Amino acid sequence: MSTPKYKRVVLKLSGEALAGDIGYGIDSNVITSFAKQIKEIVELGVEVAVVVGGGNIWRGISGSDRGIDRATADYMGMLATVMNSLALQDALEHMNVPTRVQTSIEMRQVAEPYIRRKAIRHLEKGRVVIFAAGNGNPFFSTDTTAALRAAEIEADVILMAKNNVDGVYTADPSKDENATKYETLTYLEILNKGLRVMDSTASSLCMDNHIPLIVFNISEKGNIRRVVLGEHIGTVVRGSN
């Protein structure tokens, strides 16, 4: 089967995943692997938007815990996402995949400012669009950015790529051997059970706008392609059963 189930997707990549085994910064082998997987689905005709976190460089909430003003720490985190986005853009363009980075905070020398209509036009032309700098406001996570941008560009699904985790579990599988994996969930269940899939703001936004979410393991090569072709891997989250 080579006909994609989804025409337009938002891929959410965690910043920590980009660090690989190094644990900090950007592992070139990892980012190249991610770029190859993105290229695979672009070649299927899927319109791809990407939201990258910044946790491999800086996490706003961690900076706040160290005494830095929370808003300032969050803005620093937004800049970290721009660094990751530019690195991913470079990896994709080395593979001849046309890519645009759009930032919520203007920095025209390195990226376009986020403009919804322009982002959609890029997608229609087959370009990968990377949304950087969160949504431009402190106190919001990149999960919320993914939910917001998915609603704005009318994406069919959010693909939440996890590093070495193949879905949503009842508990942390690395700490609890009795943890079991959910095949399907609703956003209401995520909120009621306090599952750490995405923050409550992002979950509510997805629920209100009927945007499905698929949580899967990106460490296994080819998984992004499998997901967009409709293969059931990971955990599927919907607004209702």
138 is in an annotated binding site: yes
59 is in an annotated binding site: yes
25 is in an annotated binding site: no
- What percent of the chain is helix, strand and coil (3-state, nearest 5)? 40, 20, 40
163 is in an annotated binding site: yes
74 is in an annotated binding site: yes
Tokens of 8: 């337009």
172 is in an annotated binding site: yes
- Measured CA to CA, the distance from residue 213 to residue 191 in angstroms comes to 14
Q: In this structure, what DSSP letter does residue 117 have?
A: H
141 is in an annotated binding site: yes
135 is in an annotated binding site: yes
Cβ-in-10-Å burial (0-12, 13-18, 19+) of 91 comes to buried
139 is in an annotated binding site: yes
Cβ-in-10-Å burial (0-12, 13-18, 19+) of 108 comes to exposed
φ, ψ of residue 207 to 5 degrees: the values are: -65, -45
55 is in an annotated binding site: yes
54 is in an annotated binding site: yes
* Known binding residues for UMP: 54, 74, 135-142
* Known binding residues for ATP: 12-15, 55, 59, 163, 169, 172
* Known binding residues: 12-15, 54-55, 59, 74, 135-142, 163, 169, 172
